[in-house]
Structure 1
Amino acid sequence: MLTLATYNVNGIRAAQRRGFGGWVRRRCPDVICLQEVRCPADKVPLDVFDGYHVVYCPGTLAGRNGVAVMTRTPVAAVRTWGGQVFSIAGGQLSPVAPELVGMAGGTLARPLAEFVDEGRYIEVDLADEPVTVGCLYLPKGDSLLAPSVRTRTPTPEQLEGVRGRYERKMRFFEGFGPQLARSRRAALRAGRQFVLVGDFNVARDTADVKNWRPAQKASGFLPEERAWLAEQLGPRTLVDVVRSLHPDENGPYSWWSWMGQAFARDTGWRIDYHLATPRLARTAVSGTTERDEDPSARVSDHCPVVVEYDTAQL
């Protein structure tokens, strides 16, 4: 059995203070994929990773992004799109030699060139399972249709910023679609199943957003964003594992705003996913978001999404 979790921690140092380590000890997943680690490598709180081997791609944007994969045993291989990768084991941090880090998918899609140093993607081959795991933090983007843009008379500079963030996300989509296909096909050629997890900053359908009607003009639920995500899924390519386990359920949501009563009222979005190759997806025996009951116990504005895969069936 493989227990795989994805968790946008919204800053590992803040998450540690709020109880991330306690969740890890209680839940004990075999693999934990983290997004928004948001910490320089030399400032990472190493004790939070006790009992795990970690590969970490922090990127170069101070206080932003950063993806990591925690595993019980050292990984067999690690791949990124570029940028420095660090290893954490036994309370020690060390850079991974560049020659030991491969290029995910073999080659990089041209539109992704501007993102290679941002700490948005890392991919590992598990040593004890025939599975390749990709960990993604997709840009948030923006929307010119959002109420905050339409009602507050933004300055030309503010409008340009909104437009730039929207167009940047569209460029990421353009590059990541083919890049994802390359990684999936490379894993299958190597005799491995593939699963992509992480924070996509996109909700699939109306069942994935509590207040979906006004959300249709917001970043993360625009028609073009939803269409892109739909294009990545199919019965022969990738399966949305949690939705396949909960086909008729609203949610389960994985993100709630810190503002107001969003969490208490469960006014959330489902934007964190497990997208697995069909054979691996069929082995999923359980999977859901692990939402804290007490708002004061929240580690992040996201909650972990955990799936149990019966890999003995592979």
Structure 2
Amino acid sequence: MSRRIRIASVNVNGIRAAARNGMGSWLEAADVDILALQEVRGEREHLEAALPGWCIVDDKALQKGRAGVAIASREECAISRVDLGHDGLESNGRWLEADFEIAGETLTVVSAYVFTGEAETPAKQDPKWAFLDAMERRLPELAADGGLALVTGDLNVGHRPLDIKNWRGNVKKSGFLARERAYFDRFLTLEGEAVAGQEGTGRGMVAELSDTRAFSAGRTGLGWVDVGRAAHGEVDGPYTWWSMRGKAFDNDSGWRIDYHLASPALAPRASNYRVDRAASYDTRWSDHAPVLADYAIGG
């Protein structure tokens, strides 16, 4: 008999601040089974204090107070891995896989925190390219033989114009560069089909925006599914991150950069996706909103 497993992901922008500012109340009401966290920026003791009674696996960044990912569960403790399999890749505190045995099936959940990057600054953008390259290699491995896998987290790429309120002003900025979005085109194109890029969407794109086609030439899709976009269809957002500055939150001038990416075998089992946007600016406990969905696991 299958079980409904509710999985949530959120960039907490510091676990201590999030816990202090209301994360616990949200978590109690959300009825979450597995929780993926990014930008923990703390020690194991801080995670345990924020999540008493949860089983936790985590991976810290090499630089204290930076990045950090974790997966907490009400299930039994999971087998975890942190290696993306690429020599020289700086993935500490940015990629954590956990395998859960649920109702006779194995579910792999990933908490990922992709580099922010900075266009025209190789020292900041090159690590992001290397990380996305490693993801491109790892996703087919996770999905092999019908694997049930879910990559969650702050992936720091708005895939389409629907995903950024002010996309026209960001086509030359990291987070919405054509090459970055081309990775997602490949991730999310049906397995084995030619990747077409983003021309012809009917939104009056400028030349730079349709350039994903150049980066997709000769590539075929990996078949993963953006659970949030599948749930909401062709609408703006719903956004998951808003700057703390100005009126971005009040005006809903945000970015959708936090994802549930489901393997081809897992995607049909998803339901009830939502973004838990705070009711008001002053009730936020992070600059990101949690994204949640339910998954039917087991025979």
Q: TM-score range by the shorter chain?
A: 0.7 to 0.9
Matches within 5 A, 1:207-226: 207-226=162-181
Residue identity opposite 2:135 in structure 1: F
Question: Among residues 34, 38, 44, which one is paired with 1:35 in the alignment?
Answer: 38
Is the 8 Å Cα contact of residues 39 and 69 (structure 2) preserved in structure 1? yes
Distance 1:45 1:120, change over 3 A: closer
Question: Among residues 203, 209, 223, which one is paired with 2:158 in the alignment?
Answer: 203
Matches within 5 A, 1:281-296: 281-296=267-282
Secondary structure, aligned partner of 1:127? strand
Q: CA deviation at 1:230?
A: 1.3
Is the 8 Å Cα contact of residues 75 and 127 (structure 1) preserved in structure 2? no
Write the distance in 2 (CA, Å) between the matches of 1:213 and 1:121. 30
Matches within 5 A, 1:42-53: 42=45, 44-53=46-55
The corresponding residue for 1:242 is 228
Write the distance in 1 (CA, Å) between the matches of 2:31 and 2:272. 16
Residue deviations 1:59-86 (CA, integer Å, cap 9, x gap) = 22111111100111223421111xxxxx
Q: CA deviation at 1:109?
A: 2.6
The corresponding residue for 1:109 is 86
Q: CA deviation at 1:45?
A: 4.9
Write the distance in 2 (CA, Å) between the matches of 1:141 and 1:290. 26
**Aligned: 1:182 with 2:137:** no
Secondary structure, aligned partner of 1:54? strand
Question: Among residues 96, 99, 108, which one is paired with 1:125 in the alignment?
Answer: 99
Write the distance in 2 (CA, Å) between the matches of 1:6 and 1:281. 16
Write the distance in 2 (CA, Å) between the matches of 1:19 and 1:196. 25
Write the distance in 2 (CA, Å) between the matches of 1:295 and 1:302. 12
Q: What TM-score comes out, normalization by structure 1 length?
A: 0.79
Unaligned regions of 5+ residues in structure 1, if any? Answer: 82-103, 145-161
The sequence identity of aligned pairs, in percent, is 36
The corresponding residue for 1:301 is 287
Residue identity opposite 1:163 in structure 2: P
Write the distance in 2 (CA, Å) between the matches of 1:310 and 1:181. 22
Residue identity opposite 1:17 in structure 2: R
Secondary structure, aligned partner of 1:14? helix
Secondary structure, aligned partner of 1:303? coil
Matches within 5 A, 1:1-314: 1-42=4-45, 44-81=46-83, 108-110=85-87, 113-116=88-91, 118-129=92-103, 130=105, 131-144=107-120, 162-185=121-144, 188=145, 192-236=147-191, 237-311=223-297
Unaligned regions of 5+ residues in structure 2, if any? Answer: 192-222
Is the 8 Å Cα contact of residues 16 and 50 (structure 2) preserved in structure 1? no
Is the 8 Å Cα contact of residues 203 and 270 (structure 1) preserved in structure 2? yes
Residue deviations 1:151-191 (CA, integer Å, cap 9, x gap) = xxxxxxxxxxx331112211222222112322332xx4xx6
Aligned residues: 263
Residue identity opposite 1:180 in structure 2: L
Secondary structure, aligned partner of 1:263? coil
Is the 8 Å Cα contact of residues 94 and 112 (structure 2) preserved in structure 1? yes
Residue identity opposite 1:287 in structure 2: Y
The root-mean-square deviation of aligned C-alpha atoms, in Å, is 1.6
Is the 8 Å Cα contact of residues 102 and 297 (structure 2) preserved in structure 1? no
Q: CA deviation at 1:228?
A: 1.2
Write the distance in 1 (CA, Å) between the matches of 2:266 and 2:164. 26
Write the distance in 2 (CA, Å) between the matches of 1:301 and 1:216. 22
Residue identity opposite 1:183 in structure 2: L
Residue identity opposite 1:230 in structure 2: D
Residue identity opposite 1:46 in structure 2: E
Write the distance in 1 (CA, Å) between the matches of 2:50 and 2:75. 16
